[in-house]
Structure 1
Amino acid sequence: MATNNILANGDNWILTTPTARSTHGAVASQHRMAAQAGAAQLDAGGNAIDAIVATAYALNAVEPWMCGLGGAGFMVIWLAKEQRAVALDFQGVLAGDTRLEDYPVDPNLPATPMGFPGVVDNANIEGYRSITVPGAVAGLDHALARFGTRPRSAVMAPAIALAERGLHVDWFTSLQIGVCARTLARDPVSNSIYLPGGHPATPESRLRIPNLADTLREIAEDGAATFYRGALAEKIVGDLQAGGSRISREDLARYEVLEYEPMVAEHRGYTLYTPGEVSGGLRQREMLAHALEAMPIPLEKPTPETWLAYAEALEHCWRRHKIRNGVLSPTDSGVDGEQGACTSSMSSVDAEGNMVALTYTLLNRFGSGVTLPSTGMLMNDSVSYFDPRPGYPTTMVGGKRINSSNMCPTVVVKEGEARFSVGASGGNLIMPAVTQVAALMMDFGMSVEEAVHHPRLDASYRGSVRVDPRFDAETLTRLGKCFELEMAQQLVFPKLYACVTAVSRDPETGECTGINDPTQPIGGGAIPAAFTLESLDGNGPKVRP
């Protein structure tokens, strides 16, 4: 067994996080205030879709480095009365005038988060040329109009109030800014917001993002129409083109959300719904099938053989995925550099049993680093989802939609009742984490709280398997006989086992639970209550959604 043991210099604590519980529904998010904004919709009589949309919009103001109006993603919805699941794809789209010559490969640069070659001046991951047409506003508006119950203005009220207050900086926010300071410094607007005086904003300060509240208010009034075809679209395209982007008014106007039946996987009497082959869903289905074959009858609790089966299944499905995407030949060893990426995951459930899993992203932390001056929108760097070389399944082509993502929002149903939903942020780490949490609940009857807190491993056919040292010695020994092991503690930063968010519902008692990963200090679950926006002195206004 070869190991890289860093425990001697590890953090000297064990991370745990509380679970929110209520029979009236629950919301979980990577930021507690966003979860509270969503749970307020349940308190006001709304459903799980209202709650998830409110949560997603609120994240623009409290976790702008992960997701927002300038991002894109997937949503899976379980409609309890209709007994059916729906998937929404609101992924980004390349500008119609995208040209490969704008992205010459630079062999001296590291690969993108998706494993594709770097290009000159990091043009595919930083700055205006790295931006795709964002789908977030279209996706959220579509979900609310089709399946929500509350007015857009009410659902977005907490997000607007948070944006008007400004971003309260704590130590975790300072960390996020500091990690990306070089990229943020390239953009004059982002530099002025996040690097006051030329340095990352310090804790106990407050950052105001110019025009963000007005942009949210305009969307609340006019919906996606203004964003893609109206006055807001004109501002967006004006800023983009002034910065060198090829995105046009026609590109925005052509954007559409894809609504379809989700991919289905069956596992031990449960049905798992994911967005399908363009997400992490296909790898999830392959992983579960491979593990089920190796472990047809699970024991009462996980054993070393369980974790070997999970690790081998993850290696198997990741190898197939890399071959399909053209980043690995069938004879390749699979050794590559793992790239970090950042996203936001959230889940909601209501008292009627409707359940939602949503994951959306700017791709890298702070996306392209670009904040549009007229709207305050932080923009994605999703051009790096595409290969700058010709002839591959993911090669850049004008108007092409993102067709390969790690995001894996999952809703799990048994006997006609949604039991839990789970998603995660973390690039390549997402699918392994989501699928392990789901497998622990389905294979061993763990609660969502037990599964989220359980040690995890990470494997993506990269030449080694990362393991949490909290595993017992027998498990580590068994895994070490088959894999090169990296011993790595669960940390606040970097998050080496993804950042999981989940909700569950017990159909017998009606109890709903919400939980966010213990490594996320600002994350958490929330139960229905009026949304209270507290200012730094604790006397802020109460916002009734």
Structure 2
Amino acid sequence: MHRARPGLAGKPRAAARQVPRTAARGGCRVKRLLLILLLLVPAAWAEGPARPAAAAPGRSAIASANAHATDAGMEVLARGGNAFDAAIAVSATLGLVEPESSGLGGGGFLLLHVAKDGRDVFVDARERAPLAATRDMFLDGNGEADRRRSVDGALAAAIPGLPAALEHLARHYGRLPLSQSLAPAIRLAREGWRFGPKNAAMLAWRKEALAGDPGAAALFLPDGRVPEVGTLMRNEDYARTLELIAREGAAGFYRGPFARRLVAGVRKAGGIWSERDLAEYRVVEREPLRLHHRGYEIVTAPPPSSGGVALATILNILSGYDYAALPPAERAHLLTEAMRRAYRDRALYLGDPDFVQAPVAMLTSPDYAAGLRAGIHPRRATPSALLPGVDAAPARPDTSHFSIMDAEGNLVAVTQTVNLPFGNALVVPGTGFLLNNEMDDFSVKPGVPNAFGLVGDDANAIAPGKRPLSSMTPTFLRGDDRVAVLGSPGGSRIITTVLLAALGLMDGQDAQAVAAAPRFHHQYLPDRIQAESGALPAEAVAALEAMGHTVEVTDRSWGNLQVVAWDRGSGELQTGTDPRWQGVGKGAATAEEASIYR
């Protein structure tokens, strides 16, 4: 494990001072006066002040994108595990039943709050470029980007981080051994689960790529066809891989016979992995970003996530307006202009902090936001082409997120991914999982968009051992009255999905309302507002277009938001799981009186 920076030592208390005798006599007079006042207090006051807000919820809750994963986490909590043990169970189960979105062949970001220490930590389990990677490895002979090679096949795969993250959680934060936390996923892999509508929809979209790899075809296309919804699916190889990790930890995955099998399979398929790539992989603990807005503290992801920096830019810009009181069109206009500028900066400045000195302090500064705000016309859109920046696809519901809060107040927000649905569509035989295609998240060439339409520059260029920039934005929201854990998949739309959810929670919406609310999005390029049906009233769309915005309202939806929220005063514990995939996700809490949404 690497740590990006050491923790801050506590400040020593000031030395005691001698109190002058005259001051002591004055203190006695004050005490007598206070006693008299207390005797005069009305009887109703004698009952004492209102009960203070609880320091911990006293029960636990999980919201995830799949009911099997939520159930696995609840099982581990019932066996005496904490939120971190439950996170291992949820993560491993999602990799099994939602292989289109995440798994052992991918990576993720884990945002943790350790209640006993009052400490927040960001665990970076993002994939790394192989050491043989080069800046122009996806350019053809004419210097043009060959997008197919950065998406499909072995060359598209970066070195996975999720197996290392699972051991890291167990070793440093959990209470149970890996064998217990991984047990539900191992059992389910052998007993089987039912192929669902989300699995089928995503597999149909990637069928051609999966059919081209024998390992993937054998696992996901029995008899050469997409399985019917309801088909019982088993994965013995996945169970054996989890048992290896449970028995030997991350070393069993990244070194020895299993690592050699992975490397041989990748290289046979045309990839550039080496045993050194796997042996040198480590998760990195980084200091989370902390923002303040409307009386809430927002704890969120630092680089190599672009999410936290973008949230800071947007919220700092919005802090100069009474936007919550504005009509829908004016509020959407200001949000759009803030999004536009945040995504422009994402393209210009952000990358792996171990390789790039990104100006995070500047980008998250209220003074910088004030300068950006000065360029926003209150009634006119700013064309992206007029903003200095990068010269210049619709997102699919890949990636996965889950949120956990346990009875002690530990918090976990995890966003994990293999990038595009079913990753690079390659399975090394005998391993049971797909590899990622995260190499596409690098800037293959300045100004050339990736699969999500995001452009980038040299800060996110390919380099050996470098981690690609990500939009994953696991987030905590903390206020005097409310604590929430949230995050979502959605490619380039993750940031704005989390933004709108956070604003909804600040406005007092409950967890399920926030998860279900229609969304809109702007990402600098392409220069248009994309809106789910119902996100903006018809009159607001007309007003935005009159301001010069291009608005594209679509019946398609995006994201898969998972929220846990705790009301510190009433003790109510809510879970909100995105209804865009009906009957797939699940929120659950450990007490009957808690609010449970499914």
| Shorter-chain TM band | 0.7 to 0.9
- Equivalent residue number for residue 499 of structure 1: 560
Structure showing greater Rg: 2
Aligned: 1:215 with 2:241: yes
Partner of residue 539, structure 1: none
2:491 to 413, 424, 427: 427
* Residue from 456, 467, 482 that aligns with 2:519: 456
Match of 2:570 in 1: 509
Q: Secondary structure at the match of 1:486?
A: strand
Give the corresponding residue for 2:309.
282
Once residues 168 and 302 of structure 1 are traced to their aligned partners in structure 2, the CA distance between those partners, rounded to angstroms, is 46
Report SS of the residue matched to 1:432. helix
* Contact residue 423 and residue 502 of structure 1 kept, 8 A: yes
How far does the alpha carbon of each residue in 1:440-461 deviate from its partner, in whole angstroms, 9 at most, with x for none? 212x122222222222211112
Deviations 1:375-426 (A, max 9, x none): 1121101111223348822222222222x111001011224x8700111111
1:71-470 counterparts in 2 under 5 A? 71-100=106-135, 102-105=137-140, 118-119=145-146, 122-279=148-305, 280-295=307-322, 298-299=324-325, 303-324=328-349, 331=387, 337-340=393-396, 342-389=398-445, 392-402=458-468, 404-415=469-480, 419-442=483-506, 444-461=507-524, 462-470=526-534
Gaps of 5+ in 1: 1-21, 109-116, 530-545
Partner of 2:93: 58
* Deviation readout 1:209-236 (Å, 9 max, x if unpaired): 3511111111111111211123322322
How far apart are the structure 1 equivalents of 2:411 and 2:550? 39
Q: CA deviation at 1:45?
A: 2.3
How far the C-alpha of 1:350 sits from its partner, in A, is 0.8
> 1:26 touches 1:526 (CA, 8 Å); kept in 2?
yes
What is the match of residue 39 of structure 1?
74
Identify the residue that residue 553 of structure 2 maps to in structure 1: 487
Q: Which amino acid aligns with 1:406?
A: S
Report % sequence identity: 30
Aligned partner of 2:543 in structure 1 is 478
Q: Using the TM superposition, give the Cα deviation of residue 187 of structure 1 relative to its aligned residue in structure 2, in angstroms.
A: 0.5
Q: Report SS of the residue matched to 1:89.
A: strand
CA, structure 1 residues 190+210, in 2 after alignment: closer, same or farther (shift >3 Å)? farther
Q: Distance in 1 between matches of 2:204 and 2:413?
A: 30
Structure-2 separation of matches of 1:457 and 1:68: 28
What displacement does 1:264 show? 1.0
Q: Which moved more, 1:306-315 or 1:389-398?
A: 389-398
What is the rounded CA distance, in whole Å, between the counterparts of 2:182 and 2:141 in structure 1? Answer: 43
Query: For the aligned residues, what is the CA RMSD?
Result: 2.5
Q: Which amino acid aligns with 2:531?
A: V
Contact map agreement 1:458 1:465 (CA 8 A) in 2: yes
**In 1, Cα distance between the equivalents of 2:444 and 2:554?**
33
Q: 1:518 is aligned with what amino acid?
A: P
Is residue 2:585 matched to residue 1:523? Answer: yes
The aligned residue for residue 38 of structure 2 is none
The one-letter amino acid paired with 2:460 is T
TM-score scaled by structure 2? Answer: 0.77
- Report the Cα distance in structure 2 between the residues aligned to 1:40 and 1:269, rounded to whole angstroms: 36
Cα deviation for residue 83 of structure 1 reads 1.6
Equivalent in the alignment of 2:32: none
CA-to-aligned-CA distance 1:251-305 (integer Å, 9 cap, x gap): 1111111112201111112111112132111001111111221226x33x97443
Residue segments in structure 2 that go unaligned for 5+ positions in a row: 1-56, 352-383, 447-456, 592-598
Question: Match of 2:375?
Answer: none
Which residue identity does 1:284 align to in structure 2? L
Q: Deviations over 1:469-515 (max 9, x none)?
A: 323344333333331111123x4xxx33x221111112223332222
Contact 2:195 2:227 in 1 (8 A): yes
Stretch of structure 1 that moved more, 161-170 or 282-291: 161-170
CA contact (8 A) 2:510 2:574 kept: no
Q: Distance in 2 between matches of 1:527 and 1:106?
A: 56
List per-residue Cα deviations over 1:311-351 (Å, max 9, x = no partner).
Answer: 2221221122223369x987569897445462011110011
1:149 CA displacement: 1.3
8 Å Cα contact 1:236/1:374 also seen in 2: no
* C-alpha contact 1:353 1:418 (8 A) present in aligned 2: no
Contact 1:325 1:392 in 2 (8 A): no
**Aligned residues between the structures:** 488
* 1:458–1:467 Cα contact (<8 Å) kept: yes
The structural deviation recorded for 1:139 is 1.3
SS at match of 2:414: strand
Distance, in Å, in 1 between the alignment partners of 2:386 and 2:81 is: 50
User: C-alpha displacement at 1:369, in angstroms?
Assistant: 0.2
Distance in 2 of aligned mates of 1:447 and 1:79: 25
Classify the secondary structure of the residue corresponding to 2:471: coil
Residue 250 of structure 1: SS of its match in structure 2?
helix
Change (3 A) 1:175 1:81: same
Contact kept in structure 2, 1:124 and 1:130, CA below 8 Å? yes
Change in CA separation of 1:209 and 1:106 when aligned onto 2, cut-off 3 Å: farther
Conservation of the 8 A alpha-carbon contact between 1:98 and 1:397: yes
CA contact (8 A) 1:351 1:510 kept: no
Cα-to-partner distance string for 1:7-28 (whole Å, 9 max, x where unaligned): xxxxxxxxxxxxxxx9621111
CA contact (8 A) 2:304 2:350 kept: no
* Residue aligned with 2:435, SS: coil
1:26–1:525 CA contact under 8 A, matched in 2: yes
Looking at structure 2, the residues matched to 99 and 427 of structure 1 have their Cα atoms a distance apart, in angstroms, of: 24
The offset of 1:44, in angstroms, is 2.1
**Contact residue 23 and residue 511 of structure 1 kept, 8 A:** no
What residue in structure 1 maps to residue 361 of structure 2?
Answer: none
Contact 2:101 2:399 in 1 (8 A): yes
- Cα distance between partner residues in 1 of 2:479 and 2:385: 38
What are the Cα deviations for residues 68-119 of structure 1, in whole angstroms up to 9, with x where unaligned? 00001101111222222110101111111123564224889xxxxxxxx741
Q: Counterpart of 2:33?
A: none
